[in-house]
A and B are shown apart, each in its own frame.
Chain A
Amino acid sequence: MEYFIQQLINGITLGGMYALIALGYTMVYGVIQLINFAHGEFFAAGGYVGAIALAYFAGVGYMDSHPVICLTAAFMISMAYCAYLAIGVEKIAYKPLRKESRLAALLSALGMSIFLSNGMMLTQGVYDKVYPSELFQGRFDFGMVTLSYLQIMIVSLTACLLIGLNLLVFRTKIGMAMRATAQDKTMSALVAIGSNRIISLTFAIGAGLAAAAGIMYGLYYGSVRYDIGFVPGIKAFAAAVLGGIGNITGAMIGGLIIGMVEIFGAGYISSEYKDVFAFIILIAVLYFKPNGIMGENIDDTRV
């Protein structure tokens, strides 16, 4: 039982990170029907910017005196940077192709992904960028079950971001405009919603969430590297498809499921095949529900 609870905690932590990344895929797909394969790179870039910011704070000595403020600032800087990066990527790589076939934009996305990842390798080097892993070092022990401060921090921050996003999309004017654009770009333009602005905003929000996940990843695993975006990116994409691509709630649920299945598969069956389990579940669900768990086209929840 203790073993089960420990694995459950591991699964939720991992699943939460996948959910944050998956949201970016699903939101962008909702608005312009594009699988943004460069999204994993926003996640990696977020991790890098966070590492650089934290290293800077540590250098000037703020890290020892005000760790929480520094961390918050690192989150802010990194999320803002990635939001702008995503807007730029959209303007350069996707906007000119919006009228072309979908395949063209998809290929452009793949190219952008390789470009960004190699750009990070060339500018930041091939070595790992280290995070201050001594932050949140403590942990609670309940018999065999261990809950580290870091896990609590990550899970609660993830929850806050997910709730915040839900509020933004379903309770505000901007959210309404996003949903309207997702449903019908021409029609929403007629009621004075600038679709370009909304598309930029969608990219920005998605990338901001990915950047937050990147910093959490760095804190949790101790370091980031230029190639970290690839595997979590693919898993998060699977999570978005599993939940029903285009559906925000679906992406959150999908992320958690993929994280859990991976951990439980590794913990109970075989850690060699943990990636396989995640994708088996994906295939099985898509076989019976081709639109994913939450369905692709529930009009209200699509962004």
Chain B
Amino acid sequence: MKKRILSIMAMGLILVPFLFATVSAKTLKIGSMSPLTGPYASDGTDIKNGVWTAIKVFEEAGGVPGYDKIEFFPQDTACDPRQAVAAANKLLNLGVVGVVGAYCSSSTIPSSEVLDEESIPMITPASTHQDVTDRGLEYMFRMCGRDDDQASAAAKFMKEALGAKTIFIVDDKTTYSQGLADGVEKACEKLGIKILGHEHVNQGDKDFSAILTMAKLKNADIFYMSLQGYSSAAMMTLQAKRLGLKSQIVTQDAVFQPKYMEVAKYASEGVYLTYGLTDPSTPEYKAFEERYVPKYGAIAAYATYAYDSATALLKAIKAAGSTEPAKIKAELMKLDYQGVAKHVKFRANGDSGSSYIAYKVVDDKFVPYWEPANGLIK
């Protein structure tokens, strides 16, 4: 027994120098939160890769003066509110100066309260629910668009471009997907599109045959899928086609993943979805593509937004010349540059504007199809 205690103490002593070593090195700590396990692991990994790429690029361009290196702490939220809060606390303990994340709105909302209390800036690349920025948190920023804007853009698109008169809505009951589905329902009512049904499935369900049979019976013009991830959406699309559902399928930003077409294959052809406008012809996008694609494969939904979030954070820290939260925030608000996904310029509430357009799946690619201002894109 005594021997064991001694050996444990010895081991503890050996570890002590390492503790001091990490404290003494001058490093800038950046955290990210996204689901790295569970059903949305692929989207979460894209976010991690996006942030990682941004840090690498930034370091190569000179890094942040006064710091030897930038250390990156990707945390797993598993799209679970409790785990997200735990991840936020862990990042606080690690002493990060800024966080990129999270993915699911249901994770971002509770974890941002934790970070905001300690005045740590948080930029979400992917959480589109209104409440993310509507709660008036001082250090909450958003790189992507908002669901209320997305819902009205989607309704307008279905009405004007598709001539829809009836709609059947399905969501999977997450803060994001249900919030968006409710928004679409309201927007459709306003435009005079009749709601033939609004059903819910559970997160992670694989078998949708029952609900699709119901949708087939109702035979609405539009079958609107509001699901948290591309994977469920691909399964639902495939099963819908196999069951002979005639309604036009319209879906949303979480499905903007090349993997969607890989899984749903022929069934995905002709599906519409709303997603922020990204101009792939800008030099910024091309540079990112050259960096990202060889290492991680095709650019997916939120990799670009994650890259922009991390870059914005690093730029602000560099400009502030300190890690004081108030100064970082002031510099974040001053940012005005062309990013990879969009033009980065934050507004007073932390949003950076929405630019939702409709994409159509043509030959396994998302092709811009319609924009709210000018109608069809030629």
Contacts and interface: CB of A to CB of B under 8 A. Distances in A.
Task: Tell whether A and B belong to one assembly.
Answer: yes
22 contacts: A6-B216, A6-B243, A10-B207, A14-B207, A121-B37, A127-B42, A128-B42, A128-B231, A128-B263, A133-B264, A139-B244, A148-B242, A222-B264, A222-B265, A225-B39, A225-B231, A231-B204, A231-B206, A264-B210, A267-B210, A267-B214, A272-B201
Given A3-B217, A271-B200, A272-B201, A266 B210 contact: yes
Interface stretch (B101-109, B155-163, B233-241, B325-333): B233-241
B213 A3 contact: yes
Contacts of A223: 231, 234-235, 263
B176 to A, nearest CB: 17
> Which of B42, B242, B259, B265 has the largest count of A CB atoms less than 10 A from its CB?
B242
A126 B242 contact: no
A221 B206 contact: yes
A259 B211 CA distance: 14
Contacts of B206: 217, 221, 228, 231
Contacts of B173: 272
A95 interface: no
Contacts of A283: none
Contacts of A150: 242
Nearest to A127: B42
Given A3-B213, A134-B266, A227-B39, A272 B200 contact: yes
Contacts of A262: 207, 210
Contact of A128 (B239, B242, B259, B266): B259
Contacts, number: 107
B41 interface: yes
Interface residues of A, number: 39
Nearest to A225: B231
Chain B interface helix/strand/loop/mixed: helix
Nearest to A129: B263
Contact of B211 (A137, A144, A231, A271): A271
Contacts of A216: none
Nearest to B267: A133
A52 interface: no
A271 B210 contact: yes
A263 B209 contact: yes
A257 to B, nearest CB: 15
Interface residues of B, number: 38
A266 B200 CA distance: 10
B36 interface: yes
Given A146-B242, A272-B173, 20 more contacts: A3-B217, A6-B243, A10-B210, A126-B37, A127-B42, A130-B265, A133-B265, A134-B266, A148-B242, A222-B235, A223-B263, A225-B39, A227-B38, A262-B210, A264-B210, A265-B210, A267-B211, A267-B213, A272-B200, A274-B205
Interface of A: 3, 6-7, 10, 13-14, 121, 126-128, 130, 133-134, 137, 139, 141, 144, 146, 148, 150, 217, 221-223, 225, 227-228, 231, 262-267, 270-272, 274-275
A271 B265 contact: no
Contacts of B279: none
> Which of A7, A223, A227 has the largest count of B CB atoms less than 10 A from its CB?
A223
Contacts of B39: 225, 227
A76 to B, nearest CB: 25
Nearest to B210: A266
> Which of A3, A6, A265, A266 has the largest count of B CB atoms less than 10 A from its CB?
A266
B201 A127 contact: no
A126 B41 contact: yes
A130 to B, nearest CB: 5
B213 A126 contact: no
Contacts of B213: 3, 6-7, 10, 267
A146 B242 CA distance: 8
B336 interface: no
A262 B205 CA distance: 12
A223 B201 CA distance: 19
A221 B213 CA distance: 16
Interface in B89-110: none
Contacts of B45: 126
Nearest to A131: B263
